[in-house]
Chain A
Amino acid sequence: MLRLREIHAGYGATPILFGVSLEIRAGEAVALLGRNGMGKTTLMKAVMGFLRPWRGTIEFDGRLLTGLTPHEIARLGVGFVPENRRIFPGLTVRENLELGLSAAPRPSAALRRQRLEEVFQHFPRLRERLDQLGQTLSGGEQQMLAIARVMMAGARIILMDEPTQGLAPALVRHIRQMIQELKRLGVTVLLVEQNARMALNVCDRGYIMEKGLIVFEGPAKELRESPVTREKLGV
């Protein structure tokens, strides 16, 4: 579904990625692991079109993404849940959610209601908070909202950049449940994480990145048990 081949990229003259290849099949949840500064976020930016790769290709459902703009990529069904302050703090929960409907330029009231109902089934908490400003939500709720917003768009693949960063253990569990829920719905997930234990518990496969390269890959079970994982990630 999403295939990266030999991606080289960087900022200015500084190379960050040295030929990264990876593949995610439809319906899979894949973890991309690695310590800080290894190029995980850069890779996400390249997929979303915020950074143009120097070399290599990115394909989504057979379509070349390299060279497209972020909004074109988003409209093809690639959803992005970025790290940290993830929502529009000055807009209400409802407004944040409705902004997710960008794929339909003039979303009909029926479509809006239908998608909202779908979202509330999975995140009943958001229904209670509907008219609250985004900035008044807790960290976990903001993360929920960011994921729900991507679901509103009808994304077929969701890229998540460190969703558990800075969240309490109970919320980490909650995020994990959300990812499982997404998988159940048939949404493909690329999860970028530092929390390898959580990621490998919820994902089917994993890649480990080091200094701009994929240094190890395999089924999640294999990664969980491999000494390489411990060596590379220190877990």
Chain B
Amino acid sequence: MSSARSWPALVVLAALAALPLTPFMTKYYMLLGFDALLFGAVAMSLDLLMGYTGLVSFGHAAFFGLGAYATAVLLERGVLSLWLGLGFAVLVVGLYALIVAYFATTRRGIYFALLTLVFAEVVYTFFRYTQTFGGSDGIQGLPAPYLWPGLAIDTPARNYYLILAYLALAYAACRVLVGSHFGRVLVAIRENEDRARFLGYNVQRYKMGVCVISALLTGLGGALYPGRAAYATPDLMLWTVSGELIIMVMIGGLGTLVGPVIGGAFFIILQEKVSSYVDWYFIVIGLVLIAIVLFMPRGLFGLRRLLTLRPWRATA
């Protein structure tokens, strides 16, 4: 990422960092901001698969949920260090992702999506219908984790800054990744898998690699969730969550990284705002999504071309 091209990202980051200083940011908005940025970052991780490699994962909720349970289990046992929680989440999600990726990448297209879904449903069923980790109640009433003894992440503002840091680091990691040789091979696989094969690329290994990276970024996001919510429940792993993540990527703009962040934040805020007025909020959200897909095929992020009118590449 050249410094010339990273300045818009840095400006946005600075604006997001300054946001809590405005009087408008109550605790409620701080937590809404947390959710918006968290799901934006998770949608961005999914974009590595969907937008860049052309793989649709229908099981990302499991990575998210496993990450959440990883920290929840430690917090429940009095292990309050955030770093241990994140490390444990990397271990758990990484192992699970390796297994899923190994099997799912042996198949293409819809079969890949179905395999990720089936694996995720197995994980969901385990957490939901056995009492090992609290069954349908999950793990409740968790204490706040700390960065180091004395600095607990126990206020909405601290949670907000934590998730902002996570988003910034995850974005930088994704940006470097898609700009690297590895990223070019992913796009090559998306455009024509066989072509990448006869050029000498072990396509399955690249797919597994990007699956695990995407899963780890998602799992890290999930690992930060119990610190904000004080619980982890099997609902985090519901297949509808995986579906929502796909929608976030689509409405934001496939293969752009920034787009899915916007899509995720937009989705969360829309959902929160509409659902506070009506119970049938999903109808409203559905209509908005249909309108976006029909009239903005490049997603919300595609709108920026109205502002700049500069030529722009979906794959850059």
Contacting pair A98 B199 (CB below 8 A): no
Which residues of A54-90 are within 8 A (CB) of B? Answer: 69-71, 73-75, 80, 82, 86, 88-90
Q: Collect the chain A residues with CB atoms within 8 Å of residue B315's CB.
A: 90-91
Q: Collect the chain B residues with CB atoms within 8 Å of residue A98's CB.
A: 181, 184
Cβ of B315 to closest chain A Cβ, rounded Å: 5
Judge if B161 is at the interface, Cβ distance under 8 Å: no
The residue of chain B having its C-beta at the shortest distance from the C-beta of A149 within the complex is B199
How many A-B contacts at CB < 8 Å in the complex? 63
The residue of chain B having its C-beta at the shortest distance from the C-beta of A155 within the complex is B200
Judge if A95 is at the interface, Cβ distance under 8 Å: yes
Judge if B192 is at the interface, Cβ distance under 8 Å: yes
- The answer to whether A80 and B188 touch (CB under 8 A), given A90-B315, A133-B313, is no
Contacting pair A99 B199 (CB below 8 A): yes
A115-139: CB near B (< 8 Å → 1, else 0) gives 0000000000000000001000000
Q: Collect the chain B residues with CB atoms within 8 Å of residue A48's CB.
A: 198
Judge if A180 is at the interface, Cβ distance under 8 Å: no
In the complex, A111→B291 CA distance in Å?
Answer: 49
In the complex, A50→B195 CA distance in Å?
Answer: 11
In the complex, A89→B191 CA distance in Å?
Answer: 8
Cβ of A94 to closest chain B Cβ, rounded Å: 10
Q: Collect the chain B residues with CB atoms within 8 Å of residue A71's CB.
A: 197-203
Judge if A212 is at the interface, Cβ distance under 8 Å: no
Cβ of A48 to closest chain B Cβ, rounded Å: 5
Q: CB within 8 A of B197: which of A69, A89, A103? A: A69
Judge if B185 is at the interface, Cβ distance under 8 Å: yes
Judge if B194 is at the interface, Cβ distance under 8 Å: yes
In the complex, A153→B199 CA distance in Å?
Answer: 8
Which residues of B240-263 are within 8 A (CB) of A? Answer: none
Chain A: interface size category: 20 to 34
Judge if B66 is at the interface, Cβ distance under 8 Å: no
Task: Tally chain B residues at the interface, Cβ within 8 Å.
Answer: 20
Judge if A41 is at the interface, Cβ distance under 8 Å: no
The residue of chain A having its C-beta at the shortest distance from the C-beta of B194 within the complex is A50
Judge if B187 is at the interface, Cβ distance under 8 Å: yes
Contacting pair A70 B197 (CB below 8 A): yes
- The answer to whether A88 and B192 touch (CB under 8 A), given A71-B202, A98-B181, is yes
Contacting pair A74 B200 (CB below 8 A): yes
Contacting pair A70 B194 (CB below 8 A): yes
A153-178: CB near B (< 8 Å → 1, else 0) gives 10000000000000000000000000
Q: Collect the chain A residues with CB atoms within 8 Å of residue B313's CB.
A: 90, 133
Contacting pair B185 A99 (CB below 8 A): yes
Cβ of A37 to closest chain B Cβ, rounded Å: 21
Contacting pair A88 B187 (CB below 8 A): yes
Contacting pair B184 A99 (CB below 8 A): yes
In the complex, A31→B185 CA distance in Å?
Answer: 32
Contacting pair B191 A90 (CB below 8 A): yes
Judge if A195 is at the interface, Cβ distance under 8 Å: no
Which residues of A192-228 are within 8 A (CB) of B? Answer: none
Residue from A80, A100, A133 having most chain B Cβ neighbours under 10 A: A80
Contacting pair B197 A74 (CB below 8 A): yes
Residue from B192, B194, B195, B203 having most chain A Cβ neighbours under 10 A: B195
| Chain A to chain B contacts (Cβ below 8 Å), 6 pairs | A50-B194, A71-B197, A74-B198, A74-B199, A86-B195, A100-B199
Residue positions of B touching A, CB distance < 8 A? 181, 184-185, 187-188, 191-192, 194-203, 313-315
